[in-house]
Structure 1
Amino acid sequence: MTDTLLVEPSRKSPVQRAVSTLFTSRESAIALVLVIVVGLATLKTHSFLFSDNSWRDLLLAPSILLLLATGQAVVIITRNVDLSVGSTLAIVAYLTGRLFVDNPGIPIVVVFVIGMVVGAGLGVINGVLVGYGRVPALVITLGTLYIYRGVVLSWAGSNRINASDMPDGFLSLGTKTVLSIPVLTVIALVVLVLVGYYLHTARGGRELYAIGSDPGAAELYGLKVRRRVIGAFVLCGALAGLAGVVYAARYGTISSGAGQDIELQAVGAAVIGGVAIFGGSGSVWGAAIGAWLLITINRALPILGVQDFWQQAVVGSLIIGAIVLDRALAARRTRKLIRARDSS
């Protein structure tokens, strides 16, 4: 008998398993959509991808949302959500400007560290209220969204920080490149790799998935659920703080309206990228691709002649479709488990 072309899953080589994963994962599907969007926009307007600044902008524009989506993905994996990241970004962005105004000559690295520490502190507040208060994260972070935004509104008022108030060395981070890749994008990618590596290799990262899959079972198993959830919010806040510093370097002008509504984009990017809104599954890689897709769609759809209303409708449809797909896949897995149990 001739050898069959079909290979049993258990006998697949590592290369075959990698190829199979590549063509069946949610991340690959979203990446394909991203490539199609870029291709259609480039066919319509050649300069979308091949002008002097288009390539740099294509990489630079998603850097802030990528940082927020990475932190948001970690929180959502634990079956929570953080709606306060946009307000945290605003506080840290304005703080960044004030640090340069009030402390001339302050090292740029110190500003980055202070921004992340402040963001982490705001994340601690969210985490403690969720972990110890036993109140849904949606409610807690909706409240802190308004509280944090109120703080920056009271602090900044109608004032704003201008580019002239900050050192050229800091502002140049928004335009510098390394091997044709913007520095701010490099920062976002380094963070993405570190967080992704932690989630998939460290015990603490794997425990976050277990908590999101079934918090009650995780607690009975002896996992430190409360501590892990607080840690997820701290990480999310720290990355929102980093995004605030990056925002200041990227735009140069900072007002109390910085980061308005970007928290919804962060949640949308994570969900579109395959992070299950009900927790327990997904990856920061998918969230990053989702962030790139959202930003690229906003740039590409006007070029393709799509009106503003339909631009928003497309993004909303992607989010709804991602949630429906997650539920359908979860139901399918449940039916398979039931059939396997009944047949055994």
Structure 2
Amino acid sequence: MSRLIPIRETILASAILLLMVLIASRFSGFVAPSNLANVFNDTAPLIILALGQMVVILTRCIDLSVAANLALTGMTVAMINMVFPTLPIPLIIAIAVLLGAAMGAINGLLVWKLSIPPIVVTLGTMTIFRGIIFLISDGKWVNSHEMSASFTGFPRALILGLPVLSWVAIATVVIFAIMMSRTQFGRSIFAVGGNPHAAVYTGINVGKTQFWAFVVSGALAGLTGYLWVARYAVAYVDIAGGFELEVVAACVIGGISIAGGIGSVGGAVLGAIFLGVVKNALPVVNISPFWQLAISGSAILIAVAFNARAGRAKGRIILKSDETSMGAAQ
């Protein structure tokens, strides 16, 4: 049963607000609207990727290749732009999305058709994708002066005071909120993660659903690849190195159960925003950015412990009700 105000999301939102209050006590400029808009824009790539990862995790899988997918797509479209600088941006975006979706499809097929554990598949493809980047680029960078102005300008263009990158993240959140709550695909995602055996009896193809979850994750990684490279105006082999762990952290902190079937779009977004606030706040309060890893890791452990405790509590309630009904029958 869904609540009007989900408890997990409320707790996380309160934690974010408390964190911002504490930061504002040290540096009041952090909560200025313009700075908060910059923080959201910095967090936009993480929000987009977290939504894709959410869909995968809900089906009891995981995609550790998202950052490598992002990097390979970003390098590819940067090199295409270098050779064909007049290529329309919508076509560049379409290439990025299709390329990312194709890499996601590779993951999905290996999991679906060969029944290889998702963590093994995506660890392997992560390494392969990084290797392909080196092969196609020969280890060289694509720098800002080699990119067209339209290529780098699109994510930075302002609409109603916010960059296009932020608007893409907002649009992705809206689309996923509708998809997960109003479409058959969204319901299938929750059904597969909640109880794959029962899902089969209702006519849902578990492997096929997981395949499309990987495709969705890959497509968003491809889209983010272009936005990332264009925004920072540079493409290189190690771009977004280790970012896949931050994406998984955003999901787990947001209440997406690693056991599948439990989670929400709002939770994934709030998890990403929490990490974004932490990342942008540390330099402001004179704390080394390297503490971000420790903070993220601690948040993951707390979130997983909270999820596990909630799951055990639910199990005890069900068992108790069963025992009560058995006693009444006797």
Q: What range describes the TM-score normalised by the shorter chain of this pair?
A: over 0.9
Question: Which residue of 103, 111, 114 maps to 1:133?
Answer: 114
Give the secondary-structure state (helix, strand or coil) at the position aligned to 1:222: coil
Between stretches 170-179 and 78-87, larger displacement belongs to 170-179
Alpha-carbon offset, residue 309 of structure 1: 5.1
Q: 2: CA distance between counterparts of 1:26 and 1:182?
A: 30
Q: 2: CA distance between counterparts of 1:95 and 1:285?
A: 32
Q: Gaps spanning 5+ residues in structure 1: where? A: 1-8, 10-16
- Once the two structures are superposed, what CA deviation does each residue of 1:136-159 show, in whole Å capped at 9, x if it has no partner? 101110111101111112222331
**1:309 to 1:88, Cα distance in 2 relative to 1, 3 A:** closer
Q: 2: CA distance between counterparts of 1:222 and 1:56?
A: 45
Between stretches 149-158 and 305-314, larger displacement belongs to 305-314
- 8 Å Cα contact 2:72/2:130 also seen in 1: yes
The RMSD of aligned alpha carbons is 1.8
Paired position in structure 2 for 1:30: 12
- Once the two structures are superposed, what CA deviation does each residue of 1:114-151 show, in whole Å capped at 9, x if it has no partner? 10000000001000000111111011101111011111
Paired position in structure 1 for 2:328: none
Q: 1: CA distance between counterparts of 2:36 and 2:217?
A: 29
Alpha-carbon offset, residue 311 of structure 1: 3.2
Paired position in structure 2 for 1:47: 29
Q: 2: CA distance between counterparts of 1:301 and 1:108?
A: 35
- 8 Å Cα contact 2:40/2:276 also seen in 1: no
1:257 aligns with 2:206: no
Q: 1: CA distance between counterparts of 2:292 and 2:244?
A: 18
Question: Which residue of 176, 179, 185 maps to 2:157?
Answer: 176
What is the aligned residue count? 325
Q: Gaps spanning 5+ residues in structure 2: where? A: 326-330
Question: Which residue of 271, 278, 291 maps to 1:297?
Answer: 278
Q: 2: CA distance between counterparts of 1:289 and 1:211?
A: 24
Alpha-carbon offset, residue 226 of structure 1: 1.4
Question: Which residue of 36, 39, 45 maps to 1:64?
Answer: 45
Q: 2: CA distance between counterparts of 1:180 and 1:273?
A: 28
The amino acid across from 1:150 in the alignment is: G
Structure 1 runs (4+) greater than 4 angstroms displaced: none
Using the size of structure 2 for normalisation, the TM-score is 0.94
The amino acid across from 2:171 in the alignment is: V
Give the secondary-structure state (helix, strand or coil) at the position aligned to 2:283: helix
Alpha-carbon offset, residue 56 of structure 1: 3.2
Q: 2: CA distance between counterparts of 1:328 and 1:128?
A: 34
The amino acid across from 2:21 in the alignment is: G
How high is the sequence identity, in percent, across the aligned residues?
32
Using the size of structure 1 for normalisation, the TM-score is 0.90
Paired position in structure 2 for 1:221: 202
